[in-house]
Amino acid sequence: MPLERISRRVAAFFTIVVFLIVGLIAGERLFFNYGNSPTAVRGEMDLRGWDWDRKGHLPLNGEWEFYWNEFKPPEDLAAERFGTPSYASLPGSWNGTTKDGKVLTGEGYATYRLEILLSDDERVLALRLPPIYTSYKLWVNGKEIASAGTASKSELESKPHFLTQLAVAHTHTKELVLVLQVSNYSHEKGGIRQPIEFGLFESVARAKQLAVGFDTLLIGCLLIMGLYHLGLFVVRTKELAMLYFGLFCLVFCLRMALIGEMVVTQAFPRFNWTLALVLEYLTADLSMLLFVLFFSSMYPRESSRKITTYFCTLTLAYAVVIPLLPTMLITKWLIVLQLIIGAGVCYILGIIVLAFLRRREGGGLLLFASLIFAATIINDMLYAHELVQTTDKMSAFGLLIFIFSQSVLLSVKLSRGYGSEEKLSAALTQLNSGLHDKIKERTADLEQANLELQRKNDELSRMEKSRSRLLSNISHDLGTPLTTIQCYLEAVLDGIVDTEEQKERYLQLIHSKVVSMDRLIEDLFQLSQLEARQVTFKKQLMRTDRLIELLFSRYELDTRNAGIHYTLTLRADGDDQPREFSAVEVDLERLHQVFSNLIFNAIKFTPEGGSIQVEMIDDGEQLLCRVSDTGGGINEQDLPYVFDRFYTSNRSRNSAAGGKGLGLSISREIIEYHGGRIWVERTEPGRGTVFCFTIPVASPQKKLDRQQSNCLFSS
C-alpha cells in the first residue's frame, strides 16, 4: 500500500483528535465553568439581577446553611425558626468538616437550607439534581419536589439510591426556600459532591438532555466497537488482541451506563443500588485487566509474561473479594482499586514506549492516544478524592480518542493486506509471462502461492462481510425513509419530473415523508416524557357533562364528512333518582389528544353509513366514557398488545393506515396520569370495537357549588 495513503488516514485521525480535544475543552467550559455567576453567601443567593434568557441556568454553589445530625422540618421556612446554623460550601462532601470540635466522617445525616431571592417573574423554574450521597428529600417552599432512596436518621431505615433528576419548582413567589435532608450510611463520602443546577425549565432540561445524549452516544460507540472486534476475532481466532479489545469495550460500555447520567438507573428506576455500586467497581477493575491483556497481545516482545500474570492475578482477586464486602468498606478501599489501575496504566505506558522506540507498527499513534487516556483516568481518580473540580466523565473522552486510534490502526492493517495481495498478483503475472521455460519446475510453487492468495481473499472477504452486516443493521431503520426521499429528489433533479404539477406532487410526497418522520420523533419524545412524568399538566375543574360536550363537539365535522352517524349520550346515575353531574380536575388539551386518537381510529375503520356512539356515565365516583363503533374490530390475539408502543400487527395500528403504534400508548399514559385507566371493553371482527376510559371525580373540597360552576362553564 502506498505510504501517502497511510499518511492521509493518519492525518485524518489526528484531525479528529484535535477536534475532540477542542470539544473537550469547550465541553468543560460549557458544563462546568459558569463564569461570574452568583454564589450563595451565608445561606442566601440573590438572583434578582440574573438574566435567565441570556445567561441560562447556573449552579447553586456557595455557602448553604448546614445542620449536622438534624432533620429540620421543611414547614419552618423562616431562618430564625431553624435555629443558629453553620455553613457548608457546595459542591463538596461533608467529610472533613469540623463540627463541635469533631471532624465529620461520611456517615450521618444533615439538613441543608438555601434561600433564593428572585425577581417578579412567573416563568417555570427547575432544578437539575445530581446523585447525592446517598439518599435525600428536597422541599421547595415547604412542598416536596424530589427524593432518592429513603433519607432517615436510622441506618436500618435509610436506603441509598443514586439518581439524576429534573425537578420543577412550582412557585410564583419572589423567594424560594430549599430544604434538603440528606443521610448516608453506605458510602465513604456523604453530602452533595456535584453542583445542583437551577434555572428556567427549558434551559435545565436541555442541559440534561445533552448530557444524556452524550452518554448514550458513547455507550453506542463502545457497544458497536466491542461487537465489531468480537466479530473480527470470530473470523480470525488467532488475533487475541481483537478479543480482549472487544471485551474491554463491552465492559466499559456497562461502566458508562452506571456513571454520569446513570442510564441504567434511568431505564430501571428500581435497580439495586448495592449491585450498581459493585458493578461500577468491578467494571473499572476488569476493564483495566482486559486493557493490559490487549497491549500484551499487541506487543508480546515488549511486554513481560510474568508481570502480566501477576497483574491478572491481582485484578481477579480484587474482583472476587469486592462483591463480598459491605458497600462502606468498598468505598473506603477505593485507593486499592486506584493503585491497581495506576499500576496497570504505568505497565501499559511502558509497553507502548518500548514499542515506539523499537518502531513497532502503530506504536507512535497508540502512545499519543494512550497518554491522553491515562491523563483522563488520573483526572477521574483525583476527582473521586475531591482534589480537582472538573468532572468524573473525563475518561470517557480519553477512551473515545483511543477507540478512534484503534480504528485507524485496524484500517491500516487491512489496507496493507490488500496491498500485499496486489503485489503478489503482479509478481505472479510477470513470472508466468517471462519464464515459460520454467513452468513445469515452478508449477508446485505457483499452486502453493495461489492457495495462499485464495486463503487471504477468503479472510478479507469474511472480514468485509462482517463489517457490512454490522453497518447495515445499524443504519437500516433510518436509511429506509431517507432513501425514499433521496429517490424523489433525484427524480426532480434529473428532469424525470418535468411538469410543475408533477414536481408539486413529488414535493408533497417528500414533505409527507419528512412530516411522518418528524411526527414519529415527536411522538417518541412525548411518550418518553409522559412515561418519565416530565410533562406539566395544566389541570382545571370542569363538570363532567361540559367536558364530554367539549370533547365530542370538536369531531362532529370529521364524522359528518366521513358519512358516519355520530351520537352522544350523557347520564348521571344516582341511587334512586337523577342527580347533578360531578366535577373532575383535568387537562382539557391532553384529553382532546386521547379522545382524538379514539375517534380517528373509529373513523378510519368504520365504513360509510356506520355509526360512532359516545356515552358518558357519571356515577358520583368516576367519569366513565365509552366510545363504540361499527367498524372492523380487532383480532383477539392482538388485544393484549394494542396499548404497547410500535405494536402494529392489528390493522388499526398499522403504519400503512397512518400510524406508528404510539397513539394508544400516549393515550394510556395521559389517562393514567389523571388517575384513571383505559381499556378495550368489547370487540368483535366485523361488528366493531368499544374503548372505555375512566377519570375519578374531584374530592368534595374541590367541587364547585352551583353558582360557581354556572359562572365558570358559561364561559
Tens digits of residue pLDDT in 260-295: 788 888 788 888 889 999 998 999 899 889 989 988
What local confidence, expressed as pLDDT, does residue 381 receive?
Answer: 76
Cell of 448: 502453493
Cell of 549: 360536550
Tell me the average pLDDT across 360-364.
73
Q: How far is CA 509 from the centre of its chain?
A: 33
* Percent with pLDDT over 90 in the chain: 22
Q: Does residue 1 carry a pLDDT above 70? A: no
Phi-psi domain of 262 (left: phi exceeds 0; alpha: psi -120 through 50; beta: other): left
Spatial distance between the Cα atoms of 247 and 601, rounded to a whole number of angstroms: 48
Cell of 107: 456517615
pLDDT digits (tens, 9 = 90+) for 340-352: 988 988 898 888 8
Cell of 618: 357519571
What local confidence, expressed as pLDDT, does residue 269 receive?
Answer: 81
pLDDT digits (tens, 9 = 90+) for 453-498: 887 776 666 455 544 543 443 444 445 566 667 776 777 777 776 6
Which of 546, 555, 552 lies closest to 586, judged by CA? 546
pLDDT grade for 171, boundaries at 50, 70 and 90: low
What local confidence, expressed as pLDDT, does residue 421 receive?
Answer: 65
> What's the mean pLDDT when you consider all of the chain?
79
Scan for cell 425549565, then name that residue.
Answer: 201
More confident residue, 237 or 17: 237
Q: Does residue 308 carry a pLDDT above 50? A: yes
pLDDT digits (tens, 9 = 90+) for 509-543: 777 667 656 655 665 566 566 665 666 788 899 99
Spatial distance between the Cα atoms of 287 and 275, rounded to a whole number of angstroms: 18
Q: What residue type is assigned to position 445 of the chain?
A: D
Tell me the average pLDDT across 131-138.
92
Which of 347, 346, 342 lies closest to 304, judged by CA? 347
What local confidence, expressed as pLDDT, does residue 466 receive?
Answer: 40
pLDDT digits (tens, 9 = 90+) for 578-628: 678 899 999 988 898 899 889 988 898 899 989 999 999 998 889 999 999
pLDDT digits (tens, 9 = 90+) for 694-703: 999 987 655 5
pLDDT digits (tens, 9 = 90+) for 182-231: 999 999 989 998 899 998 889 898 988 888 888 888 888 888 888 988 88
What local confidence, expressed as pLDDT, does residue 661 receive?
Answer: 60
Per residue in 137-160, is it b (16+ CB within 10 Å) or e — as a string? bbbbbeeebbbbbebbeeeeebbb
